[in-house]
Amino acid sequence: MGGRTRRLSLAFLVAGICNVAAFAGDPAGDAWSLKTVLDMAVAQRQEITAAHARAEAAEKRPDIVAALEDPMIAPSIDHYPFDQMGSRDPMTAEDSMGETDTAAPSAAEDTSSRYDWSVALEQKFPLSKIRSHRRRAAEAEAEKLAADVDRTSLDVALEASTAFFMLQEQRRMSVILSEQILLATELASAASARYRSGSGNQAEVLRAEVEIARLEATRAALKPAIRSAEAMLNASMGRAPAAPVPALKSPVLDGPLPTPEHAAERATQQRPELATATAEIERAAAEVDVMRSMYAPMGMVRAGYAETMAEGDGFMVMVGVSLPIWRGKLRRGVEEARAMHVMAVADMDAMRRMIQGSAMAARDALEAEQTRYRALRDDVVPRAKRLMGPAIGLYASGQGSMAGVIEAAQALWSAQQDLVMAESALGVAWARLHRMAGTSLESPL
């Protein structure tokens, strides 16, 4: 009766461990889904806030660079006679006898007539379309930084997704190890019973105890690994690293795959890096026009109030233009801007090829991970389960050996752990494909 009870308990333990691979019991109450994690990461990561601030600041730049220079108010003394800098009347500088008149001016004398003075308002302005070209360049820079917000968001989503699946893997490994320790403990109890009854030997007991010690050491090492994975997930979400993390709910990963060509096409349409490169080309083209506009002179108008010793009150106006005579410097500026435009176009072509290639490579890597996951889930793990049952039955009936049971158990445990890692790798591969395609994990590919 005791042998039958032990046999039944071992069978129930094996069934429980075999069901761990399905992971159908994820708590749904407070569990975080991947979408929840990504929404929190996008809302809380300061990198995205900084990218938004840079883009917002760049939106103000076109009005700044396209504005005229500030006007200048210029009060000036236009003419002050050297020989009248004292207190003498300019009309009686010297009497007819050549004697110097040292008499002080009368109180009624108009001292404002001793020099010419003026107050003018001066404004400079270009005689070309350089202001509109500078506005174009600044608008292109703003578009570039706006696309950088999307790029930052995609990078944050990839980091958070990777941390999500890494933590999920560590936690599921801990569950599997706990189940494995229970089975190994039960096997050790069965070996001890057989040894006491004389149908077994002490080596079988020691072999089971060694397996228990190995599993417990592995589980103990997992505890700091889980804390580390939780800290990384919190950091990727913009939370405090020590904040508690509830249970995780995995998304459906075994979905249909896009074709490599479709993945490359989506990447060409969606990747924000291409929008950044396009804006850079437009900015470089605007800079070429800016440098060409330097050939045109700058204009200047000065107008204001003036008063002279001879004529009294009046109005003054002056018009001037700059002389862009250093043509060599201007030509070099245009050549430099053209070279930068050529570089931007070449970078765009190279980036497009790399993006298409990376999207197709990520899609093929996803297919490899999906194939591995399906093989483990549908073939390897079921076979390991079928192997474990007969091994337990033979040992419980007194016919098998502990080595055979441990070997079968290790085959099952290894398959289950491989399945957990394969599922995590599959999730990361999906996240990477979405990043390479420039789409969110909720959008279809």
Task: Give tens-digit pLDDT for 400-415.
Answer: 777 788 888 888 989 9
Task: Give tens-digit pLDDT for 433-444.
Answer: 999 999 987 777
Return the beta strands (E) in 99-146 as ranges: 116-126
**More confident of the two residues 19 and 270:** 270
Share of the chain above pLDDT 70, in %: 86
With cut-offs at 50, 70 and 90, classify the pLDDT of residue 113.
Answer: low
Average pLDDT over residues 280-295: 95
d(CA 371, CA 11): 31
The yes-or-no verdict on residue 387 having pLDDT over 80 is yes
Other Cβ atoms within 10 Å of 395 Cβ, number? 26
pLDDT of residue 6: 44
- What average pLDDT is seen over the chain? 85
Task: Give tens-digit pLDDT for 332-369.
Answer: 999 999 999 999 999 999 999 999 999 999 999 999 99
The yes-or-no verdict on residue 34 having pLDDT over 90 is yes
Nearest to 359 by CA among 300, 429, 277, 307: 429
Nearest to 177 by CA among 426, 409, 375: 409
Lowest mean pLDDT segment, chosen from 77-91, 175-189, 190-204: 77-91
pLDDT of residue 279: 96
What pTM was computed for the model? Answer: 0.79
Task: Give tens-digit pLDDT for 291-312.
Answer: 999 999 999 999 999 998 888 8
Nearest to 270 by CA among 147, 161, 354: 147
d(CA 389, CA 247): 31
With cut-offs at 50, 70 and 90, classify the pLDDT of residue 98.
Answer: very low
For residue 33, the SS3 value is strand
Average pLDDT over residues 167-173: 95
- 13: tokens are 């333990």
The yes-or-no verdict on residue 195 having pLDDT over 90 is no
Lowest mean pLDDT segment, chosen from 135-144, 176-185, 187-196, 417-426: 187-196
With cut-offs at 50, 70 and 90, classify the pLDDT of residue 183.
Answer: confident
Return the beta strands (E) in 287-380 as ranges: 298-308, 312-321
Longest dimension (CA), the chain: 154
The yes-or-no verdict on residue 26 having pLDDT over 60 is no
pLDDT of residue 84: 56
d(CA 375, CA 368): 11
pLDDT of residue 366: 96
Q: Which domains does the chain have, with CATH numbers?
A: 2-70+132-283+355-437 (1.20.1600.10)
Check: CB of residue 127 under 8 Å from CB of residue 298. Answer: yes
